[in-house]
Amino acid sequence: MEAYQHILCATDFCDHCTAAAERAANLAGLFGAELTLLHVVEYFPEQRSNQEIAPENVDPATYREQQARSSLMELARHLGKGSMAQEVRFTTRSARHEIVRFAQQHAIDLIVLATHGRHGITHILGSTANGVMHDAPCDVLAVRAKG
């Protein structure tokens, strides 16, 4: 088995994503690989919840980016790797497209992300993890949600 050189962990900051990030950090340690944390703000600004609306005097993109960067730094500290690469990307498309594009642009050889293991209509319509697994230019590890 070839050693991974650059691992990408995509996160939306849910509890399941923390487990995926922990797995990615363990693999990066085992292989001596670079680890990048990525958060994608998808469909920006067309579809955002009221909880994510910026204060009136702040640019919405700046506000969302600051929130995401703060969460990425917190996740990196949790992993014991405060100096790892952390990226926030905005896209008018889906997160899966941006994750795949990032992997292509940065010679990523393993993408790690959480999967919620949903079924039914969500499964039929496709999830981010499913889309990444089918389109990625590299290996993908989907860490299944527990419980």
Per-domain residue ranges for the chain?
Answer: 6-144
Q: Could you say which residues of the chain have pLDDT below 70?
A: 1, 43-57, 82, 117-126, 147
Give the pLDDT confidence score for residue 81 in this predicted structure.
77
Please state, in angstroms and rounded to a whole number, the distance separating the CA atoms of residues 132 and 147: 23
Task: Report which of 93, 120, 112 is spatially closest to residue 35, judged by C-alpha positions.
Answer: 112
Q: Checking phi first, is residue 88 left (phi over 0); if not, alpha (psi -120 to 50) or beta? A: beta
Q: In the chain, which ranges are E strands?
A: 6-10, 34-41, 85-90, 110-115, 139-144
CB 7 within 8 A of CB 108: yes
- Could you tell me which CATH class the domain 6-144 is placed in? alpha beta
Give the pLDDT confidence score for residue 78 in this predicted structure.
92
Give the pLDDT confidence score for residue 33 in this predicted structure.
94
Give the pLDDT confidence score for residue 59 in this predicted structure.
76
Please state, in angstroms and rounded to a whole number, the distance separating the CA atoms of residues 45 and 41: 9
The three-state secondary structure class of 67 is helix
Give the pLDDT confidence score for residue 124 in this predicted structure.
45
> Tens of pLDDT along 59-97?
777 888 888 889 999 999 999 876 778 888 888 888 899
Chain-centre distance for alpha carbon 120: 24
Give the pLDDT confidence score for residue 93 in this predicted structure.
83
